[in-house]
């Protein structure tokens, strides 16, 4: 798979480990930075990853900051992006099955790297539910997004 990844300074070290983990599984990584522990602004990376996903250049996106929250708020400003904060195995699975999340965000100050890698695996192994109630709800998100233009 082609996976877009980005982080701010708080997520930098996790990004490096996640990218290595995915490369070992022979996935293709699009790394949008940041490239050091120097303080940066999370929206700058969120928008790059979110655009790669919305333009179909990546199959899905991963964003890491301190909490995962700022990254998800920023990524969700990009049309067609459904970014979800993932902090448990349950949210990893439901973000994919119920919400059809195409970007997942993690908090380096919330979960250990081992937890994050296992949540990532759970998300990747789950499928977008084809249950009509979930599809209808996801379609409503798109409809409300279009109404706000």
Footprint of ligand RB5 on this chain (CB under 6 A)?
8, 10, 42, 65-67, 69-70
Q: What's the CA gap between 108 and 21, in Å, rounded?
A: 16
The packing angle between helices 12-24 and 113-125, to 10°, is: 50
Q: What's the CA gap between 68 and 18, in Å, rounded?
A: 15
Q: What's the CA gap between 83 and 62, in Å, rounded?
A: 9
Give me the least distance between CB of 66 and ligand RB5, in Å please. 3
Q: Which is nearer to ligand RB5, 30 or 69 (CB)?
A: 69
Element of type H or E holding 64: strand 60-65
Give me the least distance between CB of 95 and ligand RB5, in Å please. 17
Question: What's the gap between Cα 140 and its chain centre?
Answer: 21
Active site residues: 65, 98
Give me the least distance between CB of 32 and ligand RB5, in Å please. 15
Q: Which is nearer to ligand RB5, 8 or 81 (CB)?
A: 8
Q: Which is nearer to ligand RB5, 50 or 98 (CB)?
A: 50
């Amino acid at each position: 798979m082609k996976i877009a990844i980005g982080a701010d300074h708080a997520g930098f070290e996790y990004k490096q480990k996640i990218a290595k983990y995915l490369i070992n599984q022979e996935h293709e990584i699009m790394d949008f930075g940041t490239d050091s522990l120097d303080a940066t602004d999370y929206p700058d990376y969120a928008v790059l990853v979110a655009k790669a996903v919305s333009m179909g250049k990546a199959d899905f996106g991963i964003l890491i900051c301190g909490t995962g929250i700022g990254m998800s708020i920023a990524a969700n400003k990009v049309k067609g992006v459904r970014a979800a904060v993932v902090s448990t195995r349950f949210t990893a699975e439901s973000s994919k099955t119920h919400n059809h999340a195409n970007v997942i965000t993690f908090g380096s100050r919330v979960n250990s790297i081992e937890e994050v890698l296992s949540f990532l695996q759970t998300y990747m192994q789950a499928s977008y539910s084809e249950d009509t109630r979930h599809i209808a709800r996801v379609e409503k998100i798109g409809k409300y997004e279009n109404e706000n233009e």
